[in-house]
């Protein structure tokens, strides 16, 4: 009887867009990621493209207890991010900067939804699938190479994990981390099945380059879908050293 009632409640809620399921590694992306970090002994997560800190908060909620160092270039999200980490002694925010393959300055196109902001021009396929991602302004910010950044958390880490969410600019971040790559234990980055930004490399190209650097694919996380067709346009790939 109890199982019948539960099934009826779940069916009722699912028709209204609400999904209820058990919270475990089989159903939670965040719990799976934290388990992977623990399995590989990760003691520092480098959160590149942190926005307002959603990624870090999800890691904390799922049980990750080691250090986080976040990077965010845009002024408004950076202010929110700095406020979000104030009471977390193991979560710090680097000075405001963009990360890439060179040192200097760079212009970032700011999207209406903030999270789709990118150095690269956005293609029509992206704005058609997500009109709220249209560019509305631009900001010029400092551009640094990750392997040129000095921070106590980086100096102390023995098994760092690099997460990159830079909307088509992921390859430049990896190139700028060349001096750090031998130390990295794992990498998570957003890959596009369909080009969404002008000039971004294909997911197959990035996958091949990471494999050549000694990383093996551990997990794939579904991402951005095209509402009209249900086609997946982006996904996150998680890699760890072989």
Residues 57-85 have pLDDT tens digits of 999 999 999 999 999 999 999 999 999 89
Q: Is the pLDDT of residue 5 over 50?
A: no
Does a structural domain hold residue 233?
yes
pLDDT, tens digit, 9 for 90 and up, residues 19-37: 444 555 556 899 999 999 9
Does a structural domain hold residue 115?
yes
What is the per-residue pLDDT for 3? 53
Q: How confident is the model at residue 12 (pLDDT cuts 50, 70, 90)?
A: low
For 202-216, what is the mean pLDDT?
Answer: 97
Q: What is the CATH number of the domain that holds 151?
A: 3.40.50.150
- State the residue range of the domain holding 172: 27-241
Which residues are paired to 197 by β-bridges? 122
Q: How far apart are CA 47 and CA 220, in angstroms?
A: 18
Does a structural domain hold residue 2?
no
Does a structural domain hold residue 18?
no
Domain count, the chain: 1
Does a structural domain hold residue 113?
yes
Q: Which of 7-16, 46-55, 78-87 has the lowest mean pLDDT?
A: 7-16
Does a structural domain hold residue 53?
yes
pLDDT, tens digit, 9 for 90 and up, residues 175-187: 999 999 999 999 9
Does a structural domain hold residue 61?
yes
Q: Which of 10-14, 226-230, 233-237 has the lowest mean pLDDT?
A: 10-14
Does a structural domain hold residue 48?
yes
For 123-147, what is the mean pLDDT?
Answer: 96
For 120-128, what is the mean pLDDT?
Answer: 96
Q: How far apart are CA 179 and CA 63, in angstroms?
A: 30
Q: How far apart are CA 134 and CA 126, in angstroms?
A: 9
């Amino acid at each position: 009887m109890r199982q019948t009632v539960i099934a009826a409640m779940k069916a009722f809620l699912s028709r209204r867009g609400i999904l209820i399921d058990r919270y475990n590694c089989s159903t939670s992306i965040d719990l799976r990621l934290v388990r992977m970090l623990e399995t590989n002994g990760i003691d520092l997560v480098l959160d590149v493209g942190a926005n307002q800190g959603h990624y870090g908060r999800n890691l904390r909620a799922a049980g990750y207890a080691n250090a986080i160092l976040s990077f965010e270039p845009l002024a408004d999200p950076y202010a929110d991010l700095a406020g979000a980490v104030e009471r977390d002694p193991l979560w710090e925010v680097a000075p405001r900067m963009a990360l890439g393959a060179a040192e200097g300055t760079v212009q970032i196109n700011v999207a209406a939804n903030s999270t789709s902001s990118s150095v690269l021009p956005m293609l029509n396929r992206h704005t058609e699938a997500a009109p709220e991602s249209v560019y509305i302004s631009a900001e010029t910010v400092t551009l640094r190479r990750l392997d040129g950044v000095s921070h106590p958390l980086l100096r102390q880490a023995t098994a760092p994990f690099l997460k990159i969410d830079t909307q088509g600019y992921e390859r430049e971040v990896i190139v700028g981390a060349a001096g750090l790559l031998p130390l990295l234990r794992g990498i998570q980055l957003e890959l596009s099945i369909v080009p969404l930004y002008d000039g971004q490399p294909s997911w197959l190209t990035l996958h091949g380059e990471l494999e050549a650097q000694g990383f093996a694919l551990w997990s794939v996380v579904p991402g951005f879908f095209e509402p009209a067709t249900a086609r997946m346009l982006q996904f996150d790939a998680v890699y760890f050293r072989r």
